[in-house]
């Protein structure tokens, strides 16, 4: 199977008054057709910056991609002229965000915003685009779509807005959907509805999904493979079932322990300390100051990614020794 998306050595930098912050450092991963890959990490791990830079959506003037390639069907999106990139965004790659209120335009109707994508990319007439917008809203289970297309984002609930954003992202049947924390702002019952909808559409359209999330429960239930980020770097990658059963990196192991609340009311396994400041990363492994397995070597040299059996890798000098 050839990869739909290959990210190679992606680095993103933000100049600040106190020095350059490398929000994403040397990130590589791949996504097959129809596959769901989860990009996981806590705040400041670089997961959202990575997702935005795939489509060159990091606002110019704040940060810049300093290295790397983003290959969609072999074509480097980072090297494309602006006009060609606009044809990719919204057509071959759709994107949905955590906060649909920020992503939707408050002064245009829902119908106009869905139709814009169809008219621009599919060259539809206004009438055809409206009919298709109604059909799309029905597909994402928005009730009374004929009425909804005349409404504005503020007339809708959070779950309904997220469905509208999905409808826009899917209007042109993209090969890839990038979903940046799509359910974090939603209640759990609405989250379940939205995740079920994405799963249905994925099966129907054969679409691949890059899911950015901090929620390991969501990863377990929706993704086939997982990429774990810490302080801007990939620390582990592998199939969800393998990584969750036998995490190779102590950070992954710690996250999994913290996310599996034991039901006996006993003491929870903590990860001590906090994420280091991106302006003062330790010289060796960024996780070493919090790591229960750290040895002298971890504080001196940054560990390279090493293979752990078939299809799993971890960037740790003691990879595979972490207790699950």
Partner 1 sequence: MLARRRGPGVTPPPILEARDLVKRFPAGGGLGLGGRTVHALNGVSLAIAAGETLAVVGESGCGKTTLAHCLTGLTTPSAGRLLLDGEDAAAMLRREPMRFRRRVQIVFQDPYASLNPRRRVADTVGDALRIHRLCPRRARRDRVAALIAEVGLGEEHLDRFPHELSGGQRQRVAIARALAVEPAVVVCDEPVSALDVSIQAQVINLLRDLQARRSVGYLFISHNLALVRHIARRIAVMYLGEVVETGTTAELRRRLLHPYSQALFAAAPEIGRPPGTARPPLSGDVPSPIDMPRGCPFHTRCPHARARCAAEAPALRPVDGRMVRCHFAEELSA
Binding site for partner 1 (CB under 8 A): 42-43, 143, 157, 159-160, 187-193, 195-196, 214-218, 220-221, 244, 254-256, 258-263, 265, 267-272, 274-275
Give the C-alpha separation, 186 to 214, whole Å. 14
CB of 253 closer than 8 Å to CB of 247:
yes
CB of 282 closer than 8 Å to CB of 273:
no
Q: Are strands 233-239 and 313-315 parallel, antiparallel or unpaired?
A: antiparallel
Closest separation between CB of residue 265 and partner 1, Å? 6
Toward partner 1, which CB reaches closer, 115 or 291? 291
CB of 140 closer than 8 Å to CB of 167:
yes
Closest separation between CB of residue 68 and partner 1, Å? 26
Closest separation between CB of residue 220 and partner 1, Å? 5
DSSP 67: E
Toward partner 1, which CB reaches closer, 81 or 266? 266
Toward partner 1, which CB reaches closer, 48 or 117? 48
Toward partner 1, which CB reaches closer, 47 or 132? 47
Toward partner 1, which CB reaches closer, 42 or 73? 42
Closest separation between CB of residue 95 and partner 1, Å? 22
> How many other CB atoms are found less than 10 A from the CB of residue 218?
19
Give the C-alpha separation, 39 to 50, whole Å. 9
Closest separation between CB of residue 273 and partner 1, Å? 9
DSSP 283: S
Strand partners, 60: none
């Amino acid at each position: 199977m050839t990869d739909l998306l290959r990210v190679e050595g992606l680095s993103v930098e933000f100049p600040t008054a106190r020095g350059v912050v490398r929000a994403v450092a040397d990130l590589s991963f791949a996504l097959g057709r129809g596959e769901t890959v989860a990009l996981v990490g806590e705040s400041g791990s670089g997961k959202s910056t990575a997702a935005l830079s795939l489509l060159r959506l990091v606002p110019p003037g704040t940060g810049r991609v300093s290295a790397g390639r983003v290959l969609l069907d072999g074509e480097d999106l980072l090297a494309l002229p602006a006009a060609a990139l606009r044809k990719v965004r919204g057509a071959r790659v759709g994107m949905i965000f955590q906060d649909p209120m920020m992503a939707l335009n408050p002064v245009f109707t829902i119908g106009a915003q869905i139709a814009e994508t169809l008219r621009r990319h599919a060259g539809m007439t206004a009438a055809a685009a409206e009919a298709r917008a109604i059909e799309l809203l029905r597909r994402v289970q928005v009730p009374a779509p004929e009425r909804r297309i005349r409404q504005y984002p503020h007339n809708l609930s959070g779950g309904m807005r997220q469905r509208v954003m999905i409808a826009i992202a899917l209007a042109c049947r993209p090969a890839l959907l990038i979903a940046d924390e799509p359910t974090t702002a939603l209640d759990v019952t609405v989250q379940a509805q939205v995740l079920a909808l994405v799963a249905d559409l994925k099966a129907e359209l054969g679409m691949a999904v890059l899911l950015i999330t901090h929620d390991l429960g969501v990863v377990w239930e929706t993704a086939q493979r997982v990429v774990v980020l810490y302080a801007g770097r990939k620390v582990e990658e592998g199939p969800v079932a393998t990584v969750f059963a036998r995490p190779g990196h102590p950070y992954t192991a710690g996250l999994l322990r913290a996310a599996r609340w034991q039901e006996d009311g006993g003491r929870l396994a903590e990860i001590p300390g906090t994420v280091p400041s991106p302006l003062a990363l330790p010289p060796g492994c960024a996780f070493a100051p919090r790591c229960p397995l750290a040895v002298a070597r971890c504080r001196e040299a940054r560990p390279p990614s090493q293979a752990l059996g078939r299809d799993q890798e971890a960037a740790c000098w003691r990879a595979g020794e972490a207790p699950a």
